[in-house]
Amino acid sequence: MPSLTRAEAAERAALLSVDAYTIDLDLSSPDATFDATTVVRFGCRRPGAETFVELRPDTLHSVTLNGRELDVAALDDNRLWLTDLAADNELVVRATMAYSNSGEGLHRFVDPADGEVYLYAHTFLDAAQRIFACFDQPDLKAPVTLTVTAPAAWTVLANGAGERVAPGRWRFATTPPLATYFVTLVAGPLHSRYAEHGAIPLGIHCRAALAQALDRDADELFEVTAACFDRYQELFASPYPFGKYDQVFVPEFNGGAMENPGCVTFRDEYVFRSAVTRAQRMERAVVIAHEMAHMWFGDLVTMRWWDDLWLNESFAEYLGTRVAGEATRFTDTWTDFAISRKTWGYAADQRPSAHPVAPERVDDSADALLNFDGISYAKGAAALRQLATYVGDEAFLAGLRKYFAAHGYGNATLADLLTSLGEVSGRDLWGWAALWLRESGVTTLRPAGEVGPGGRYTAVSVVQTAPSSNPVLRPHRLALGLYDRGADGRVTRRERVEVEVEPDHERTPVPALTGRPAAALLLVNDDDLTYAKTRLADRDLAALPELLPAVADPVARALLWSAAWDSTRDAEADPTGFVNLAVVGLPTELDPGVFAQVIGFAADITAGQYLTAARRPGALAALASACAEVLASVPAGSDRQLAAARGLVRCAGPGEVETLRGWLGGRNAPDGLAIDADLRWAVLGRLVVLGAAGTADIDDESERDRSAHGVQHAARCRAALPDAGEKARAWDAIAADETLSNRSLLALAEGFWQPEQEELTAAYVSRYFQDMPTMAARRSAQVVSQVAGAAYPRYAVRAATAEAAQRLLDRTDLPAVLRRVIGDRTDDLRRALAVRSLISG
């Protein structure tokens, strides 16, 4: 499919104005297709000119332009050319369209729990043309009027308020102007709950099999939604602009959620069927707040083209974290942001694919897809937090209000936003933007302190460095935290000193600390106000195993964990040091979200990739012992108990097999720990990898859990079996099976590679580089991005793997998304090789 270029979009936007879409869909057939009739009314500024409309039909039946029949054979791939345009035009397109199994277009899902069919439309990024004929670019916004015919027992939802006008027939209110990639519908025998918040009708919906789980959480979901609405309308001084607000939890969703105005779709894993920690509930609240932020940033004001993606995602990421923390009971959202989201951003910002938050240009929509990453989300959000600190929060919010007033229901660019912020704050922000938004890369900050004989600082500086490959320094407004150990043994902050780091020199003196008593810990970027990797002073680093478990503030602990992890990933420290830090630090880590992140760093990456096969079992055993220590000491039924149990499962070795078998058999589980469906699958998955469970056990668990999630868990477990035949079947499906849905394919890829099975899977290392180009040619870009990443041989940490990858990357015919995935995963592999080189003995 030709990808729409930036130049083509600009030319078409200069030529056309789109007045309205009227779409009629017939979803009543049980076949793999549906019928779509689209009427597009649009103006042309140069009558007599020509343009094209996008459409990807199964069968194109008829096309009429201003009463003139066009030849359906003229459809060239996804482009239908329209010639001799009038000043005012009406295009009528009748087509049969295909459902998808990729999470794009109109996705069709049959629930294995009850056989019911569900549909949802995901028109991002340029998938609207899979459903209706359109000018598929973000700056040709238009009102949408939708009618739908569906089975009589179904509920149908869309962007506008819906009305059932006859059995199976639905009519939806005309929307405000929407970009095509926001148009959605959801259909099926949905389970629904409704409420109101002021003038806003609220709905939450899921498939029938999840009804009980949704009902358990309905009050929390409505409470979080209402609180976030109140906070946004207060911050923006602007009412919610799209009428009703449905939130729909849909199956086999590719991302976390999608900000369709009036009808937000979420992955239905956020309907918790098993026990979860408070950290997971907080994550869900942040996602709810993130998508709600998009109602203003993205939906009300839409980027003109994908090079300003940050106007959508960076703002939603920043505001979602901020508003969830300010408006709901989840007040510690910035802790998770520090150790989870920013770590994602730092990694993305050091890979070959690193790009600016706001690149100068994105040449086509295919390239745009590649930028939905930790830079556009986490780094952009961190930059915005720094910008709010830089100009002051009141000026920042006033600038946003001015921006909405100037560009509501239209499109905007970086220049438009900076103009609004600059006019309110009185600052010229172009220099700031040039360094923060137009340049890629991450800098590193470290404190440099000299202590005199009396135990007082004689000099303190903040040192900023950048890699030689990208020597760009940035301005930072940040804080230095001075932490001391009290009589109770806890390490708490004594004082906080604000510092302005300028980009024109590497060392910034902090004269305010001269003569002050030296701290037990000098923490740069205290409160995590800026975006930069941080390091500790040598003395503090040496004392970290004793200091970190005693630090009281959760954000400070998250920053310390992140600094230790960054230095490990950057091959500055022996990886066994991070494992040892985790072993001493996890038993006192009170935040279950931080606990889960640290176990992931330590077990999955450090032990799984950075340590050799000879050292891995000892590291995992030590980590499992730390988790067992927590399990034995925390209250029954607590979040820490669940986090520790999951950690024990992740790290389990032969010594834990009987314990895990007992849990599955209903024996010896810790009091208060629910051995529910998702934990059972996690336990079984680990036993499978260890060779302590097999096909029969997977079959038995599948009988116990016939849900859609159970099907995916079973596929993941089968791919993880240490059996040559099962590996061959799984790989053949990953490489060539086009019938599997996006999530089933991903589950196989996630289960296939295991660090304990290097010999068994050795032959598939070369198969990966042989087969991925063929797989990529058969699958959509979003599926390729996820599956090729999960299927990469990440545990084959050998120079030969990197060499095989480079041979593939040297080809000139790779799809951009596959090149991106393989290039980034290979960079991670080379990092693993560098880290392994530090291991002594």
Region 732-747: what's the mean pLDDT?
A: 96
Region 798-807: what's the mean pLDDT?
A: 98
CA pair distance 344, 605, nearest whole angstrom: 14
Sequence-separated (6 or more) residues with CB below 8 Å from residue 212: none
Give the sign of the dihedral formed by CA 55, CA 60, CA 61, CA 63.
positive
| Mean pLDDT of the residues in the chain | 97
Q: Flag whether the pTM goes above 0.85.
A: yes
Nearest of 360, 222, 249, 376 to residue 309 by alpha carbon: 376
Region 301-314: what's the mean pLDDT?
A: 97
List pLDDT tens digits, range 597-640: 999 999 999 999 999 999 999 999 999 999 999 999 999 999 99
- Reply yes or no on whether the pLDDT at 17 is more than 60: yes
Task: Tell me what pLDDT residue 1 has.
Answer: 72
What is the DSSP pairing of strand 263-267 with strand 257-258? antiparallel
Sequence-separated (6 or more) residues with CB below 8 Å from residue 35: 25, 26, 29, 94, 95, 96, 97
Nearest of 364, 368, 286 to residue 319 by alpha carbon: 286
Residue 412 in contact with residue 403, Cβ under 8 Å?
yes
List pLDDT tens digits, range 120-130: 999 999 999 99
The answer to whether domain 304-436 has CATH 2.60.40.1180 is: no
Region 278-295: what's the mean pLDDT?
A: 98
List pLDDT tens digits, range 30-45: 889 999 999 999 999 9
List pLDDT tens digits, range 457-471: 999 999 999 999 999
CA pair distance 161, 171, nearest whole angstrom: 8
| Percent of the chain residues past pLDDT 70, beyond the cut | 100
What confidence category does residue 416 fall into, taking pLDDT thresholds of 50, 70 and 90? very high
**Exposed/middle/buried for residue 167 (C-beta within 10 Å: 0-12, 13-18, 19+):** exposed
Give the sign of the dihedral formed by CA 505, CA 520, CA 543, CA 580.
negative
Query: What's CA 462's distance to the chain center, in Å?
Result: 32
| Percent of the chain residues past pLDDT 90, beyond the cut | 99
Region 772-786: what's the mean pLDDT?
A: 95
Residue 265 in contact with residue 186, Cβ under 8 Å?
yes
Catalytic residues: 291
CA pair distance 322, 316, nearest whole angstrom: 10
Task: Tell me what pLDDT residue 143 has.
Answer: 98
Six-digit token string for 459:
């000099």
Per-residue three-class SS string for 157-176: EECCCEEEEECCEEEECCCC
Task: Tell me what pLDDT residue 31 has.
Answer: 87
List pLDDT tens digits, range 326-379: 999 999 999 999 999 999 999 999 999 999 999 999 999 999 999 999 999 999
How many Cβ atoms from other residues are within 10 Å of residue 614's Cβ? 8
Query: What's CA 838's distance to the chain center, in Å?
Result: 32
- Reply yes or no on whether the pLDDT at 505 is more than 90: no
Task: Tell me what pLDDT residue 553 has.
Answer: 96
Give the sign of the dihedral formed by CA 554, CA 556, CA 559, CA 565.
negative
What confidence category does residue 841 fall into, taking pLDDT thresholds of 50, 70 and 90? low
Collapsing DSSP states into helix, strand and coil, what is residue 556? helix
CA pair distance 522, 501, nearest whole angstrom: 16
Region 404-432: what's the mean pLDDT?
A: 96
Query: What's CA 146's distance to the chain center, in Å?
Result: 30
List pLDDT tens digits, range 130-166: 999 999 999 999 999 999 999 999 999 999 999 999 9
